[in-house]
Amino acid sequence: MDSTPIDVTSLSLADGVPLQAYLVVAALLFCTGVWGLINSRNAVRVLMSIELMLNAVNINLMAFSSYLDGQLIRGQVFAIFVITVAAAEAAVGLAILLSLYRNRETVDMERFNLLRW
Amino acid sequence: MTIATTTQLICFAVLASTVVLGALGVVLLPNIVYSAFLLGGVFLSVAGLYLLLNASFVAAAQVLVYVGAVNVLILFAIMLVNKREDLSAIPGLAVRRLLSGLVCGGLFALLLRVALTTPWALPGPLPVGEEATIRIGEHLFSDYLLPFELASVLLLMAMIGAIVLARRDVFSRDIATGEEVDQALIEKARTPLLLDKSAS
């Protein structure tokens, strides 16, 4: 594997926050969300993890839009669409959760195994 | 290094650490109510990061939609399904946590390497700054008009779907007068279909 050297000149803190800092924060947030999505037993916490992942994607979009696409800020428009879809997803997801809870009397993800192979 | 950039760096450090620690708290805390409130903190800090990126409109939308709607909705859901239940132990939970932690750590290492080794085309064009809201409006009503209208249809569909999914069975008899309600409008009384078979 070739090791590309890390470009240190673009990482200097002299002229504000570098783009890479935002990317690292978004990557941490996304990985936390993925871990929570896999390991949560409570169904509400799974929905929260999905929101965390969507926010990480939004941070990436906004950082790229500000640093690399400063004139046509298309990333901000995409972030607004992502926020819209996230709101719709949260509403439908919580409605599904409520009707599941009404039928199964639990929020444990391990017991929602009706479609288990 | 001027005072402005120093202030920006300090704000970024505070907001980024709040985001990361809050997200860890959301995932790891055993009490789900604390998780929900920490999630609100994470959303607010992300809005602060947007303000640092000169995007005041998206920051306002983030606060309104995420903190004002999604977080409140999650709190309502927690209140509605709030039953203390002792989760039954499942075999291999520790192994699963460790493995998924390794996978997520590997994913983070990959993303970190991509972010740090890619030669980004920096510095890009000059940011528009305060004109961002005007540009977003122009985008939404010219080249992103179709996605904009589709988003409105999606929101309508989500609203109707959420109402249909989450509504309770209505009474078959009017409480005040005692007369029968039109049967075509209500669901039949039904027993829960998906009773847990593994418990018995």
The answer to whether B122 contacts A62, with C-beta atoms less than 8 Å apart, is no
Across chain A, what does the average pLDDT equal? 86
The answer to whether B198 contacts A111, with C-beta atoms less than 8 Å apart, is yes
* Surface of B (60-79) touching A: CB under 8 A: 61-62, 65-66, 69-70, 73-74, 76-78
Mean pLDDT of B49-54: 92
What pLDDT digit, counting tens, does each position of A89-110 carry? 999 999 988 888 887 778 888 8
* Surface of A (18-77) touching B: CB under 8 A: 19-25, 27-36, 38-45, 47-49, 51-52, 55, 58-59, 62-63, 65-74, 76-77
What global pTM score does this model have? 0.84
Range from A7-11, A44-48, B178-182 that averages highest in pLDDT: A44-48
The answer to whether A83 contacts B32, with C-beta atoms less than 8 Å apart, is no
B59: pLDDT strictly greater than 90: yes
At residue B188 the predicted structure's pLDDT band, cuts being 50, 70 and 90, is very low
Q: Which residue has 């409130």 as its token pair?
A: B37
A38: pLDDT strictly greater than 70: yes
Question: In B79-111, which positions are buried (b, 16+ CB within 10 angstroms) versus exposed (e)?
Answer: eebeeeeeeeeeeeeeeeeeebeeebeeebeeb
Dihedral class, residue A98 (left if φ above 0, else alpha if ψ from -120 to 50, else beta): alpha
Q: Residue A110: which of B142, B59, B86, B161 has the closest Cα?
A: B86
Q: Long-range contacts made by residues B151-155, C-beta under 8 angstroms, separation at least 24?
A: B151/A81, B151/A84, B151/A85, B154/A84, B154/A85, B154/A88, B155/A84, B155/A87, B155/A88
Distance from CA of A99 to the nearest CA of B (A): 6
At residue B199 the predicted structure's pLDDT band, cuts being 50, 70 and 90, is very low
Q: What ipTM describes this predicted complex?
A: 0.89
Which among A6, A67, A113 is the top mutation candidate for probing chain B, defined by the most B β-carbons within 10 Å of its own β-carbon?
A67
- What is the per-residue DSSP string for chain A? ---PPP--GGG-STTS--HHHHHHHHHHHHHHHHHHHHH--BHHHHHHHHHHHHHHHHHHHHHHHHHT-SSS-HHHHHHHHHHHHHHHHHHHHHHHHHHHHHHHS--BGGG--TT--
Distance from CA of A9 to the nearest CA of B (A): 11
Can you point out the beta strands (E) in B97-182? Answer: none
